[in-house]
């Protein structure tokens, strides 16, 4: 299972690195980047990437949760991510549904963290710090301006990943 998690981390790091390099900045959101890509092969590649990352991350989560008979949360997280990935390919006018599924996947991933190793939920304090620092900064630009969704997605992934590595 650790091998699956390491492969997941490599894929996520590579994707975010390439996306940041191509955009010249951090993306506003991982899930919204698919709508910036041209239709066709690039969107299929994004979908395949999301599906592989979901499988590589959620299979260990399902295994970790099965010890407590709570594997349903890992399964529904994976299902939400699968539908999130498929939505831009098949239902092009359903951006709101795409985002709703992505939000549901994020929330469900944190439910998994709650049952696997709740200490990793403390990572959400980083978002609180960014918000408070942004308020204190006033009009001064910060690197994380308009990146709350990306930061939230990163915290969801990092907390789930960390709780799984810590669990194994």
Q: Domain ranges for the chain, please list them.
A: 2-167
Q: Write down the pLDDT at residue 56.
A: 96
Average pLDDT over residues 99-107: 94
Residue pLDDT, tens place only, 64-83: 999 999 999 999 999 999 99
Rg (CA), the chain: 16
| Torsion angle, alpha carbons of 128, 120, 34, 75, to 10 | -140
- pLDDT > 80? residue 165: yes
Q: Write down the pLDDT at residue 73.
A: 97
- pLDDT > 90? residue 9: yes
Average pLDDT over residues 126-144: 80
| Long-range contact pairs involving 42-47 (C-beta distance under 8 Å, separation at least 24) | 43/88, 43/89, 44/89, 46/85, 46/88, 47/85, 47/86, 47/88, 47/89
Distance CA 27, CA 23 (A): 7
- pLDDT > 90? residue 105: yes
Segment among 3-7, 54-58, 86-90, 152-156 with least mean pLDDT: 86-90
Q: Write down the pLDDT at residue 78.
A: 97
Q: Write down the pLDDT at residue 75.
A: 97
Identify whether the C-beta of residue 131 lies closer than 8 Å to the C-beta of residue 124: no
Segment among 4-13, 98-107, 108-117, 131-140 with least mean pLDDT: 131-140
Q: Write down the pLDDT at residue 121.
A: 96
Q: Write down the pLDDT at residue 130.
A: 81
């Amino acid at each position: 299972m650790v091998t699956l998690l390491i492969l997941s981390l490599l894929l996520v790091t590579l994707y975010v690195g390439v996306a940041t390099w191509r955009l010249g900045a951090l993306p506003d959101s991982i899930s919204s980047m698919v709508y910036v890509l041209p239709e066709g092969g690039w969107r299929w590649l994004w979908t395949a990437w999301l599906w592989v990352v979901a499988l590589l991350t959620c299979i260990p989560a399902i295994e970790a949760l099965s010890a407590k008979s709570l594997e349903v949360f890992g399964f529904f997280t994976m299902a939400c991510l699968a539908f999130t990935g498929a939505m831009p390919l098949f239902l092009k006018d359903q951006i709101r549904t795409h985002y709703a599924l992505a939000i549901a996947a994020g929330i469900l991933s944190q439910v998994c963290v709650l049952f696997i190793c709740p200490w990793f939920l403390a990572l959400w304090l980083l978002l609180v710090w960014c918000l408070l620092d942004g308020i204190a900064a006033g009009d001064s630009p910060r690197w994380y301006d308009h990146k709350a969704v990306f930061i939230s997605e990163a915290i969801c992934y990092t907390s789930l990943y960390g709780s799984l590595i810590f669990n194994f």
